[in-house]
Structure 1
Amino acid sequence: MALVTAGVVVLDCAEPEKLAEFYRQLLDAEETEASANRVEIRGADGIRLALRRDVNATPPSWPRPENSLQTHLEFEVTDLDAAERRIVSLGGRPTETKDASGPFEERGYADPAGHSFILRTTTPTAPKQG
């Protein structure tokens, strides 16, 4: 029997209820757990994401070159333009303005609290180049 049976990505933010609503709508997810300091959602494909209250949270500064990207989320989509319109309508914003290089198309965004995430049309096969 496995010692670890489940995992969840947790993002710290000042207002977990608001950020959970952004991701709930983006992922067509449902809320599975909520308390005063944490909200967890689960997407139809099983992805689990939790938002945890941190009253001192500050938005990440990525993609500024002086600060290395430590963590980000990646979501696969079939239509990048439609997904971008949805993200912007929910309060997210684009962060990548250059064309992506490589065998797949991807675009970078920030959620309303400043966490970075990538939309891509296929799963990458090569390591990140820079």
Structure 2
Amino acid sequence: MPVLKQLSTVVFGCADPAALAAFYQKATGWEIASSGQDFASVGNGTPVQLGFVRAAGYRPPSWPDGATQVHLDFTVTDLDGAVEELVGIGASRPDFQPGEGRWIVLTDPEGHPFCLVPDASGS
């Protein structure tokens, strides 16, 4: 029997937890579950949420130099529309885009990369 029962939170180090939680709240529509100077989180009522913890001397990942250790993938119904909306609320679109157009890499306001993947289900 596995020891780990359920993933609860994916936590990112950052300089400003409340601001990064606000970005992801706007991007996902999830609720801000916690917001403070040193920790903030967003969730949508499922067992998994995103957390953001203040990291002293935070340095953003540098895409695509290989220093990125983890990133998130989000499915979207309209790839181009999602890119436009997310850039409008503070995301950036790096020049380097692997995948030959099958997905788009963006970075959040603190430099964490995340990918947008078209929803293949059509819903």
| Cα shift at 1:4 | 3.3
Report the CA distance shift for 1:36/1:68 in structure 2 as closer, same or farther (over 3 A): closer
The corresponding residue for 1:87 is 86
Map residues 1-130 of structure 1 onto 2, 5 A cutoff: 4-43=5-44, 47-64=48-65, 67-98=66-97, 100-101=99-100, 105-122=102-119
Amino acid paired to 2:63: W
Percent identity of equivalent pairs = 31
Contact 2:21/2:35 (<8 A) preserved: no
- The unaligned stretches of length 5 or more in structure 1 are 124-130
Structure 1 stretch 36-45 or stretch 73-82: which is displaced more? 36-45
Native 8 Å contact 1:96 1:109 kept in 2: no
**Root mean square deviation, CA, Å:** 2.4
Q: Paired residues, what number? A: 119
Distance 2:88 2:119 in 1: 24
> Cα–Cα, structure 1 residues 28 and 40, in superposed 2: closer, same or farther, change >3 Å?
same
Letter in 2 for 1:12: G
Normalising by the residue count of structure 2, what TM-score does the alignment of the two structures yield? 0.83
